[in-house]
């Protein structure tokens, strides 16, 4: 029996086999499945089309409304209404309607549905976020999800795995977002197509769960099937507060062979920015000070967590936005919204001149709220900067960490936060 990595162990367990090898096709049992208000209606339509009448296990399905929240068109409202009717019909108990949850990739782990060793699919490409908790989590299409709803199973090709080993301590204003941007910049947007990415080393051991969620969220931008931070005591502590269900943490066997291992020393890592219109077009923020901006977006499933809002607030406190810049801040969940309000972060944001929205994906995908006009430039803490991602195809989006985004909002141009003048 060959030594197994964590991806192989999870797929072997899910397919009831002793071992699996890269390239092999397995039929695996799904532990949890997630849909939201954009992908859910097509899932339901496809489920009906293939003759589905009852989902395989309503307790293993989570539905979270987050993309067009509240609905911005009659069509969106109608589709959401239909999805609510399906949820009632099927007896799905786990549903987060408007005002009850927030962004799916924050709510899902926050509420304890992502557990180590489990196989999770979501009808959204950033489902890979949940690998931060030691799960094999991946995004699938709505029609694939219809088949999962009907059978509880799905075919997988066992991926090859790249090991990312990071050592050292992130310095002030450098964050896990900068590390994953650096990695994607190095390996390219197609550098990990259908591969797993396992994150190890001192940097990840010290990193909190929020940071790990940010890193795993963006592995799909390199083409990866999934990314996993091996579960440790931080993982278990995080989950014990959130779930009563038992779980079995898995880790790669010692001496496991990976396709390749990439080494990173983060001690000197500076804030990074992904430039238009590709996530792998990465440069240090300090080299982009000539880029003027019109809008700042702080939020999304990548950087809308409490530590992100605190970091932005530390930059914005007692400062004002540049007169030519508007700023949108979207907490990633109702829980985070409540805590940020309690801590006085909203007062700091409002005094600076920012607008705060409900917990929604809206601005990130150009769905509604904060769309960009032609020729406008936005610096965002989200995960994608493709042409037309946040509005006009003639607009431009730069991706950065919350400190860089906030600092840029003050100066009116992309700014490394360490270069802000002291107050």
Q: What is the pLDDT of residues 155-173, one digit of tens each?
A: 999 999 999 999 999 999 9
Return the pLDDT at 368.
Answer: 83
Q: Contact 332/302 with Cβ under 8 angstroms?
A: no
Tell me the per-residue pLDDT of 393-405, one tens digit each, with 9 for 90 and over.
999 999 999 999 9
Tokens standing for residue 34: 């997630």
The pLDDT of residue 246 is above 70? yes
pTM of the predicted model, to two decimals? 0.95
All structural domains of the chain, each given as residue ranges with its CATH number in brackets, are 6-264 (3.30.499.10), 274-419 (3.30.499.10)
The size of the chain, in residues, is: 423
Candidates 107, 85, 269; CA nearest to 186 is 269
Q: Contact 190/225 with Cβ under 8 angstroms?
A: no
The pLDDT of residue 421 is above 90? no
Q: Is 212 helix (H, G, I), strand (E, B) or coil?
A: helix
Between the alpha carbon of residue 165 and those of residues 1, 84, 162, 217, the distances in Å are: 26, 44, 10, 17
* pLDDT classification of 422: cutoffs 50, 70, 90: low
Secondary-structure percent of the chain, ordered helix, strand, coil, rounded to 5: 35, 20, 45
Distance CA 93, CA 87 (A): 8
* pLDDT classification of 253: cutoffs 50, 70, 90: very high
Distance CA 349, CA 351 (A): 6
């Amino acid at each position: 029996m060959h030594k197994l990595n964590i991806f192989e162990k999870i797929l072997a367990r899910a397919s009831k086999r002793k071992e699996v090898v890269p390239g092999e096709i397995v039929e695996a049992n799904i532990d949890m499945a997630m849909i939201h208000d954009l992908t859910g209606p097509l899932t339901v339509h496809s489920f009906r089309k293939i003759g589905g009448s009852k989902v395989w296990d309503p307790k293993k399905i989570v539905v979270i409304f987050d993309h067009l929240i509240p609905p911005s068109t009659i069509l969106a409202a109608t589709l959401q209404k239909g999805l609510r009717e399906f949820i009632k019909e099927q007896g799905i108990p786990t549903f987060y309607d408007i005002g009850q949850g927030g962004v799916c990739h924050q709510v899902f782990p926050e509420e304890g549905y992502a557990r180590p060793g489990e196989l999770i699919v979501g009808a959204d490409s950033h489902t890979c976020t949940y690998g931060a908790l030691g799960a094999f989590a991946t995004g699938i299409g709505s029609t694939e999800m219809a088949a999962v709803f009907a059978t509880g199973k799905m075919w997988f090709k066992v991926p090859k795995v790249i090991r990312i080993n990071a050592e050292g301590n992130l310095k002030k204003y450098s964050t896990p977002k900068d590390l994953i941007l650096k990695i994607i910049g190095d390996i390219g947007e197609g550098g990990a197509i259908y591969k797993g990415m396992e994150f190890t080393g001192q940097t990840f051991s010290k990193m909190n769960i929020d940071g790990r969620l940010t890193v795993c969220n963006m592995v799909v931008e390199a083409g990866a099937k999934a990314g996993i931070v091996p579960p440790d005591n931080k993982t278990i502590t995080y989950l014990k507060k959130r779930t009563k269900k038992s779980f079995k943490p898995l880790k790669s066997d010692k001496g496991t062979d990976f396709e390749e291992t990439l080494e990173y020393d983060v001690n000197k890592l500076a804030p990074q920015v992904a430039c238009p219109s590709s996530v792998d077009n990465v440069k240090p923020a300090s080299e982009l000070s000539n880029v003027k901006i019109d809008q700042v977006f702080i939020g999304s499933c990548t950087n809308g967590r409490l530590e992100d809002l605190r970091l932005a607030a530390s930059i914005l406190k007692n400062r004002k936005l540049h007169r030519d810049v508007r700023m949108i801040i979207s907490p990633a969940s109702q829980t985070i919204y409540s805590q940020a309000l309690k801590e006085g972060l909203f007062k700091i944001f409002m005094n600076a001149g920012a607008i705060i929205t409900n917990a929604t994906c809206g601005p990130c995908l150009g769905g509604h709220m904060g769309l960009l006009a032609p020729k406008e430039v936005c610096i965002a803490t989200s995960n994608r900067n493709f042409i037309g991602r946040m509005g006009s195809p003639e607009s431009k989006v730069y991706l950065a960490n919350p400190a860089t985004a906030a600092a840029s909002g003050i100066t009116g141009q992309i700014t490394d936060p360490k270069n802000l003048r002291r107050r």
